[in-house]
Amino acid sequence: MLTLWLVSILVFLATAALGDPIRAILGRDYNANPGRVAELEKLIGSDQSLISRYFDWLGGLVTGDLGTSLASGRPVSELISGPVQNSAMLVFLAAIVMIPLSFIIAMISAHYRRRRPDTIIQTILLAVAGLPEFVIGVLLIALLATTVFKVLPPVTLVTLGGHPWDNWKVMVLPTLTLVLWVSPYVSRIVRASLLEVIDSEYVELARLKGIPESVVMRKHALLNAIVPGIQVIALQLAFLAGGVVVVETLFAYPGIGLQLVDAVRNHDVQVVQALSMIIASVYVVVNLIADLLSILLTPRARTAISS
């Protein structure tokens, strides 16, 4: 909670430093329409001090009142509900592909360590890990949506009142971009944890007992290397919540990333504040869940807590 409170202060001060949102929204009508100016000033509480405006906004945030959009006049909660669902589905699809894929790659690489398959896998992972998400997205568009194969749509086209997942093809490129962006880092961390466990005495004892190598990897090495994997997966899922901003803008995906860019462009302060707090909340909650899972899966930590 302390982290989110500090984030709320930073978000509020950052949006307050953007300048006068009313002048930016009205443009040339600012001087010609004093009635509209007065209405918007009352809406954002321009007659109050910065501290009073902050605590009014924080109180509404705690009670679920995200305010009213200056640009559209609609409640912010109503305005962002659809994009939040769309982004949640995109991150969920990326996660259910990324997690097993990363562990499979790590297990194969650890099994063939210091041999040619491991060298090839690590070279590919390093090459992909060095690419930003927008470069990965552009390369996928060029490969699968424009000049080479043309099998997938390059942008996300959604019918009015529909959802992106109504047409599975529009979900492939954004999801694949996020998967390729985070999987290399997760695979390399899990591989390092696996190699450390594989060299341990209890794994060597399992081999001496004649247990097949596949069983040793699956039941002994992987289970003991899963805790560091959970931590890095949580970190990458939290990064996904912020990384969707770039990916959604690239593919015109109707999620919080695209809406955040539009809100910043339109100086829609209330929407920017709400979306920023949602992204920060996801980051904090995901890492909290990872810490709890790590404690539950680590016998030493469970014993320390119970004692």
How does pLDDT run across 235-247, given as a tens digit for each residue? 888 777 777 888 8
Q: How far apart are CA 69 and CA 178, in angstroms?
A: 30
Phi and psi based region of residue 114 (left: phi greater than 0; alpha: psi -120 to 50; beta: remaining): left
Please tell me whether the overall predicted TM-score, pTM, comes out greater than 0.75 for this model. Answer: yes
Better-scored residue on pLDDT, 73 or 19: 73
CB 79 within 8 A of CB 70: no
The structure tokens listed for 100 are: 């097993």
Q: In this predicted structure, what is the pLDDT of residue 105?
A: 92
Question: Mind giving me the DSSP string for 169-229?
Answer: HHHHHHHHHHHHHHHHHHHHHHHHHHHHHHTSHHHHHHHHTT--HHHIIIIIIHHHHHHHH
Which amino acid, residue 121? I
Task: Give the percent of the chain with pLDDT over 90.
Answer: 11
Res 306 pLDDT > 60? no
The arithmetic mean of pLDDT across residues 260-269, rounded, is 83
Give the pLDDT mean for 24-51.
70
Coil, strand or helix: which one is 163?
A: coil
Higher pLDDT, 83 or 16: 83
pLDDT surpasses 90 at 121: yes
For 217-226, what is each residue's pLDDT tens digit? 777 777 777 7
Does position 168 have pLDDT exceeding 90, yes or no? no
- pLDDT at 25 (0 to 100): 65
Would you say residue 120 has pLDDT above 90? yes
Residue 219 vs residue 60, higher pLDDT? 60
Which residue, chain included where needed, has tokens 């003991």? Answer: 224
Cα distances from 280 to residues 11, 158, 202, 273, in angstroms, run: 10, 27, 41, 11
Mean pLDDT of the chain: 82
**Pair 206, 259: CB distance under 8 Å:** no
Task: Please calculate the CA angle 278-280-283 and round it to the nearest 5 degrees.
Answer: 110
Whether the pLDDT of residue 145 is over 60: the answer is yes
Residues 50-73: what's their mean pLDDT?
Answer: 84
Q: What is the pLDDT of residues 12-28, one digit of tens each?
A: 888 877 666 676 666 66
CA 204 – CA 170 distance, rounded (Å): 48
Highest mean pLDDT pick, 119-128, 160-169, 202-211: 119-128
Name the β-bridge partners of 75. 68
Return the pLDDT at 176.
93
Distance CA 294, CA 227 (A): 6
pLDDT, residue 123, reads 93
What is the structure's pLDDT at 116? Answer: 92
Q: Residue 182: name the closest of 261, 118, 257, 238 by CA.
A: 238
Residue pair 241/283 in contact by the 8 Å Cβ criterion = yes
Residue 68 DSSP SS3: strand
What is the predicted pLDDT for the residue at 125? 92
Residues 178-211: tens digit of each pLDDT: 999 999 988 988 888 888 887 777 777 777 777 8
Model confidence band, residue 31 (pLDDT cutoffs 50, 70, 90)? low
pLDDT at 20: 67
